[in-house]
Amino acid sequence: MSTRELHRLEVFSRVQSEALRLVDAAEMLTLSYRQTKRLWRRYRLEGASGLQHRSAGRESHRAKPRGFREQVLGLLREKYSGGPGEPRFGPTLAAEHLAEEDGLHIDDETLRRWMLEQGLWMRTRGRKPAHLHRRPRKEHFGELVQLDGSFHAWYEQRGPHRCLMNMVDDATGITHARLGEGETIWAATHVLRAWIERYGVPLVLYTDWKNVYKVAPTPQQELRGEEPLTQFGRMCARLGIRIVGAHSPQAKGRVERNNGVHQDRLVKKFRRQGIHEDVAANAYMETHYLPALNRRFAKNAAQPQDYHRPCPSSAELDRVFRLQTERWVSNDWVVRHHNRYLQLQPTRRQRRSPRVKAVLLESEQGAIEVCYGGESMAFTELSGPPSRAPEGNQEVTVHVRCWQRRYRPGPDSPCKRHAGAHIKRLRRRLLEKAVAARRAGKGASVPPGAAKNAAPGCTPAPLPEPSSDLKKGDILIEVSQGTF
């Protein structure tokens, strides 16, 4: 019984015990007196069940036929329940596949109720998260695009683990993704180039702090005010894209939640299509999965203006998406790169500068372009390192190392000019203290070596008493003789 029906039961029980009049019951139930008399008559004849609605427990006139229900539940058990160790389809995704593959149209909430009754689905309730302020969406398409990689068993047991590079526009939720081996520079450039060719160049990329996208500056770089650039960051800088690093997964929650959608839907769609390799997976996502996903979940931006810049030409994109490294040029115009020796071919007007490095630009296919002094240079690859052995009867020059005397500063050097005077003053003070001690009778001592040279059992002869009028010359003589 509903709450209203229980309230009516309580009121009519008080009328039956003559605690209330029927007129007062009509006031309490906010019903007319005629309607209250009709309910009171039904209560006296049928009891509490007479107050229950007549449609309670009966099937709805809009209910699905029983045969249709059994057919849907049979398909759920056969095709969409998942095998051992495989996740089963949820009500929403199962309703979509029933409509696409089997031609059976049913509302996802109705299917959820049937699956709960049959034990094919159960409510999952997680821990209540902490309260966080939700960041509003950007207002323009292309103003901010979130980029992230998701490692998952996309092929389940049919293939290896892969990384899904996922891009989501913050204003509209439009998604583009590609599968690859890992979250590498080339994987990021592939998905970014596909986005640029389809929609244009976005203003900002919102990523995490992986060293593929951003690295923290060193203390020296912070003092100089420099911002370090990764290879991917340098490519984005050439396209005019600013990279912003998120300090937590919750900060880029839109792409994180989108990864969860892919891990639920895309895995099961791959299972239905029998896909277990990257080429077929990317082709299926490009033609079927991503267009359907964007039609279902994408939203209109708050403002109609598109902030994407026009897409550059294919040749210009090829020049942008290359790895850039710097290498020193040897005296014979040879550059070493990954154990490869490149012999540069300079023109007559090009001269080698000892402070200028050569810039090597390498594409994903391995094609290399060498730039020196801002100009592109032709080169030939050597089969090995340049040979330094003499050929024929050429004279061999032997380089003998010359040992040079260690440099010692002269007396006129600034570092010795004041140090010498200080040492002289210090020695004079020590000598004056020693003379004063000997005059007081405290300075008698055995000269070094006297006890050692004396015969065994003999006592060394005492030193003669020094005269009381010692001068500086006498002190220096005694110091030189070792008797001081």
pLDDT in tens, 312-324: 999 999 999 999 9
Handedness of CA 184, 186, 190, 195 (dihedral sign): positive
In this prediction, residues 368-373 reach a mean pLDDT of: 88
In this prediction, residues 395-403 reach a mean pLDDT of: 63
- Say whether both 153 and 299 belong to one domain: yes
Angle between helices 33-46 and 22-29 (to 10 degrees): 110
Q: 214: alpha, beta or left, given left = phi > 0 and alpha = psi -120 to 50?
A: beta
- Say whether both 346 and 208 belong to one domain: no
pTM of the model: 0.60
- Say whether both 185 and 81 belong to one domain: no
Domain count, the chain: 4
- Say whether both 162 and 86 belong to one domain: no
- Say whether both 263 and 299 belong to one domain: yes
- Say whether both 302 and 332 belong to one domain: no
In this prediction, residues 85-113 reach a mean pLDDT of: 89
Residue 56 placed within a domain: no
pLDDT at 390 > cutoff 70: no
CB 125 within 8 A of CB 195: no
What pLDDT score does 444 carry? 47
pLDDT at 50 > cutoff 70: yes
In this prediction, residues 331-342 reach a mean pLDDT of: 87
- Say whether both 171 and 283 belong to one domain: yes
Residue 176: closest CA among 157, 154, 195: 195
pLDDT at 470 > cutoff 50: no
Residue of 378 and 130 predicted with greater confidence: 378
pLDDT in tens, 235-267: 999 999 999 998 888 888 889 999 999 999 999
Instruction: Please report, for the domain that includes residue 187, its CATH number.
Output: 3.30.420.10
- Residue where a domain stops, chosen among 257, 290, 315: 315
- Say whether both 282 and 180 belong to one domain: yes
One DSSP character per residue, 349-368 reads T----TT-PEEEEE-TT--E
What pLDDT score does 447 carry? 47
Residue 133 placed within a domain: no
- Say whether both 300 and 180 belong to one domain: yes
Q: In the structure encoding, which two tokens stand for residue 5, read together? A: 């029906």
- Say whether both 287 and 169 belong to one domain: yes
- Say whether both 237 and 89 belong to one domain: no
Residue 226 placed within a domain: yes
- Kindly indicate the confidence band of residue 480, based on its pLDDT and cuts at 50, 70 and 90: low
Task: State the residue range of the domain holding 333.
Answer: 322-382
Average pLDDT of the residues of the chain = 83
- Residue where a domain stops, chosen among 315, 345, 368: 315
What pLDDT score does 145 carry? 95
